[in-house]
Chains A and B, each alone.
Chain A
Amino acid sequence: MSAITRDEVAHLARLSRLALSDEELDHFAAQLDVIIGAVARVAEVAADDIPPSSHALPLTNVYRPDEVRPGLTPEAALSGAPAVEENRFRVPRILGEEA
């Protein structure tokens, strides 16, 4: 039995906003099946009573003082933008025609 199907990979690609070609889907599905089969080995570790670690350092809620500091100027922030209009990022439409 395969660990992951082509349809599942296609679904994950849609969730990840990756417009993959049919060839890419075929290729990745086969490779991911091997990779997932290998990483599934973590399930063999007896760890029911082990707490998970998301991080190596025991740090939580690191804040700086709440004071105003200079940030990027609008020009600097927009300097790498693919499209700019009226000192803002110009983006393709985000709502449907009828909205």
Chain B
Amino acid sequence: MSLIHKTAAELGALIASGETSAVEVAQAHLDRIAAVEPQVNAFLHVDAETTLAQARRVDERLAAGEELGPLAGVPIAHKDVFTTTDMPTTAGSKILEGWRPPYDATVTRRLREAGLVILGKTNLDEFAMGSSTENSAYGVTRNPWDLSRIPGGSSGGSSAAVAAYEAPLSTGTDTGGSIRQPAAVTGIVGMKPTYGGSSRYGLIAFASSLDTPGPFARTVLDAALLHEAFSGHDAMDSTSIDAAVPRVAEAAREGDVAGLRIGVVKEFGGDGYQPGVLARFRETVELLESLGAKVVEVSCPSFTTALPAYYLIAPSECSSNLARFDAMRYGLRVGDDGTRSAEEVMALTRAQGFGPEVKRRIILGTYALSSGYYDAYYGQAQKVRTLIARDFEAAFHQVDVLVSPTTPTTAFPIGERADDPMAMYLADLCTIPTNLAGNAAISVPCGLADEDGLPVGLQIMAPVLGDDRCYRVGAAVERALTDRWGGGLLSKAPAL
């Protein structure tokens, strides 16, 4: 088997034993990137020299006997919303074109410390706002399963890179589903850790009370290994949880669900859901039952108002966070001709530097926070947020995990929802409640929809700091389905 088709765990073991080197593995992935990027366009920035220099350094550290952990020398694609001192960081926006950050994000720093080799920066919806990666200022990324379709978003470059074997691992951020939804529609694994379990330091902010870094991989174990590599308390993030990282790799290795209580969320399903998605979901629930889990239906009535609450809370936070793009300290500056005031330059720069979705959300958030509307919109949405957290709490008294389809539909065609914001927002219907409550959730592949032959994701939701349960159930599903299919879901994908 070629190096690009191996899992991250396998590559780490081969590099540690000296059977191959970090440089050789990096080169194999750089070759793959060169071959398929014209079709996929997952990356905004690839720099072979910087990548190979990192790989050589890891080989030297290993040769010197340094203990680097199980992913030393494994390549990774890094979402272009984390700051990197040796590569540009744009957040998919023209307002940050060419920007070189003066410091590394904590996630970036921990990747480097664990010996991961960064292949480049991946495409995303501008400032992580979107569900298709069509909102990037730098062009669309294509789904490796069908190049006419979206790879999900906002972390669509990261999902596509892993699904196209350009990288065994990638990073993402999940504010309303931006890891789980792209993972689901590209047939890979994507995890949103417990809020505060992974650091936001150096992550360009969209909605600070929701933004959560997390891993993408082709297997549940690989995602768990990456999760452990960059998670844990960070003094640079005041919302970081000061507690041990849940033992996710151990749970992924065990993958045992016997006796586990699994709740099917009653509110997710029915109208608006693609029949093929619901069929694969129901089969997977039956599979879990056959593996010894106890399945019950659970009602979470507030989840039906999660979407409107999210589209008040997230834009409100974004309108405040994006005020920092003021054309004064970094990034684009437009119209500074000596006659215009700072305020005029600011308004011209922001009008030219931000794309339509970012502008819509800034205006919506400014509206929801304005006096006279604050109580009816932002205040009321915050109350709904409390109700959603209470629904989760009540559910987790009855069951160990909740399950649902990750997305209502499979990957939609590029352009189909591009100018219909409400249709686009529906892609995150099932993923948003977890962001509002701050708990953990994963998406794992559970088959292909009959109508279009495209991947379907199973979402597994666990309590705060119950991340290990997501991996335990995900690994059980993965093991049983891989046996049934005679390989992972990606083995059914058309060759690029």
Q: A-side interface residues toward B, CB under 8 Å?
A: 4, 8-9, 12-21, 24, 27-28, 31-32, 34-36, 38-45, 47, 50-57, 59, 62, 64, 72, 76-77, 79-83, 89, 91-94, 96
Contact = CB atoms under 8 A, between A and B. Distances in A.
Contacts, number: 180
Given A56-B438, A80-B329, A35 B422 contact: yes
Contacts of B308: 38-42
A80 B99 contact: yes
Given A38-B308, A56-B438, A83-B333, A76 B380 contact: no
Contact of B102 (A47, A50, A80): A80
A59 B238 CA distance: 9
A92 B336 contact: yes
Contact of A72 (B103, B333, B363): B103
B307 to A, nearest CB: 8
Nearest to A71: B103
B100 interface: yes
B209 interface: yes
Contact of A50 (B99, B359, B387): B387
Given A12-B367, A57-B239, A42 B422 contact: no
Given A12-B370, A38-B308, A52 B382 contact: yes
Contacts of A82: 327-328, 330-333, 336
A87 B102 CA distance: 16
Interface in B339-387: 340-348, 350-351, 354, 356, 359-360, 362-364, 366-368, 370, 376-377, 379-387
12 contacts: A16-B366, A18-B354, A35-B421, A36-B364, A38-B422, A45-B383, A51-B383, A52-B383, A80-B99, A82-B331, A89-B329, A92-B345
A50 B308 CA distance: 17
A83 B338 CA distance: 12
Interface residues of B, number: 71
A56 B435 CA distance: 9
Given A18-B354, A39-B308, 14 more contacts: A13-B359, A16-B363, A24-B359, A31-B421, A34-B421, A39-B377, A42-B305, A45-B380, A52-B385, A52-B386, A59-B238, A82-B328, A83-B333, A94-B343
Contacts of B386: 47, 50-53
Given A52-B383, A57-B438, A16 B319 contact: yes
B213 to A, nearest CB: 15
Contacts of A93: 341-342
A14 B351 CA distance: 11
B388 to A, nearest CB: 9
* Majority SS at the chain A contact face: loop
Interface in B119-154: none
B329 A42 contact: no
A81 B329 contact: yes
Nearest to A96: B341
A84 to B, nearest CB: 10
A50 B391 CA distance: 13
B14 interface: no
A12 B415 CA distance: 28
A80 to B, nearest CB: 3
Contacts of B354: 18
A28 B328 contact: no
Nearest to A57: B196
B102 A79 contact: yes
Top 7 closest pairs, chain A to chain B, by CB? A56-B438, A52-B382, A80-B330, A82-B333, A47-B383, A76-B102, A19-B347
B357 to A, nearest CB: 10
Nearest to A14: B347
Given A53-B385, A64-B235, A82-B333, A32 B360 contact: yes
Contact of A80 (B100, B195, B241, B464): B100
A93 B333 CA distance: 14
Interface in B203-231: 209
Interface string B279-312: 0000000000000000000000010010011011
Nearest to A50: B383
A47 B384 contact: yes
B422 A18 contact: no
B288 to A, nearest CB: 27
B389 interface: yes
A87 B108 CA distance: 29
